[in-house]
Structure formats: structure tokens, C-alpha cells
A and B are shown apart, each in its own frame.
Chain A
């Protein structure tokens, strides 16, 4: 299995608070992604990174920001959490644009 970890694995927070999720990889892959998974929607891309300090928006980026200061870490921040951001968040990595993506174990976030 690819070396990808996500932290925290579970989090409960209140509306309006900032939340940061961390994705850490030990594979030295260039590409990293954040998805959210919701019933009826499958996986939707939030943001992705194609290198250190290089990021771009995905399909559902509103209310989220990301940062990548090191190859191994990709942070997802919910600037002011809302109940609509209750979801399971997955990080993924890839070594090339043509390659498959390898997923982390996911973070279950509940916003009350």
C-alpha cells in the first residue's frame, strides 16, 4: 500500500470554526488531491496540487483552501466550517498525470 496517512481520522467541530486536515505521504509523489465523498455525489475534487506551492481548484472548492509547503504534506483548511461541509474527506496521491491515484484512509468530519 502507498504510504499515505490522514489526520485526524475523525473530527467533530462547531459551525464557524476553522478546521485543518492533514495529508502526509512517504512516496515522494508530485501530485496530491483532496476529495470529499457524500452520498449520491460520489467523490468530488476540492483542490489539488501539482508540486510544492502549486495548487489549483477542483469542482467544489468554495469554502476550502489548501497549502503545500513540502512535497510530503498537503493541508486542507475549512476557513469557517458549515454543516454542509460534513463529509468524508479523502486525500490521494499520484506520481504522474497518467497514473492512478492512491488514496488515504479518509477523515470523517462532522460539523454541528
Chain B
């Protein structure tokens, strides 16, 4: 069965600095999708970024980018120029191309220090 592991329960970063959140996953499949979701204090889940496993190029959305290492089964999220509004719980998620379900990691709580 596929699993998603986020090894950092909490992290802190100074405002305007860069932070990287780690995620590893376990799968025997070659075709799948990876996501990062953000959950601010409002508790709503918001899609941050998405990566298709067949694409070698790392996805980027404004200040958010990923480092996708398929062989290492690693999918880290980099947040540049951190802002106070980035404070949230971040979830890494995996979705098989053969399944309708997404598997989530347990999350990393990110604190932004002013």
C-alpha cells in the first residue's frame, strides 16, 4: 500500500526567508500525482501545487516550488520569501493514476516568525 511520510511535525521560519518542507512516499507504481495542500487556521484545505510523476520538470506556483526526486521518492516544498499568511498546516498527498483516492501525510505545521 502507498504511504506518505512527513517527517517534520513543526517548522519555523523567519519572515522573508526560505523554508523547505519534506515529504517522502512509498509506491511501486510509476504513474501517479503528488500534491501539496495548505490548511490555514480557517481549516479550509487549499491546493498549493501539483506534480505529475511523468514530468521531470519541477512544478512552480509563484513563491512555491517543489523538488521532485522520483528515484528517491521525495517531494519537498520550497516556500520563498515567506509571508505571515503562509503560516498553516501543510499536507503532502499522493494519488495513483489507477485510483480515485488521495493519500495524505500527517502534515507539517509551519510557523512564520515576524
**A106: B residues at CB distance < 8 A:** 43-44
Among A40, A50, A56, A58, which residue has its beta carbon within 8 angstroms of that of B106?
A40
**B33: A residues at CB distance < 8 A:** 98, 100
Q: Compute how far the CA of A56 lies from the CA of B106 in the bound complex, rounded to whole angstroms.
A: 23
**A56: B residues at CB distance < 8 A:** 100
Judged by a CB distance under 8 angstroms, whether B69 is at the interface is no
Number of A-B contacts (CB under 8 A): 51
Q: A84-102 toward B: CB 8 Å interface, digit per residue (1/0)?
A: 0000101010100110111
A103 touches B45 (CB 8 A): yes
Output the residue of A33, A41, A88, A103 with the most chain B CB within 10 A: A103
Judged by a CB distance under 8 angstroms, whether A74 is at the interface is no
**A50: B residues at CB distance < 8 A:** 100
Size category of the B interface is: 20 to 34
Output the residue of B42, B45, B91, B97 with the most chain A CB within 10 A: B45
Minimum distance in angstroms from A26 CB to a CB of chain B:
16
Contact (A92, B47) CB under 8 Å given A42-B104, A97-B100, A100-B35: no
Contact (A100, B47) CB under 8 Å given A43-B91, A48-B101: yes
Size of chain A's interface in residues, with CB distance under 8 A? 25
Among A40, A45, A94, A98, which residue has its beta carbon within 8 angstroms of that of B97?
A98
A41 touches B45 (CB 8 A): no
Q: B84-106 toward A: CB 8 Å interface, digit per residue (1/0)?
A: 00000001000101011110111
Judged by a CB distance under 8 angstroms, whether B111 is at the interface is no
Q: Compute how far the CA of A94 lies from the CA of B37 in the bound complex, rounded to whole angstroms.
A: 14
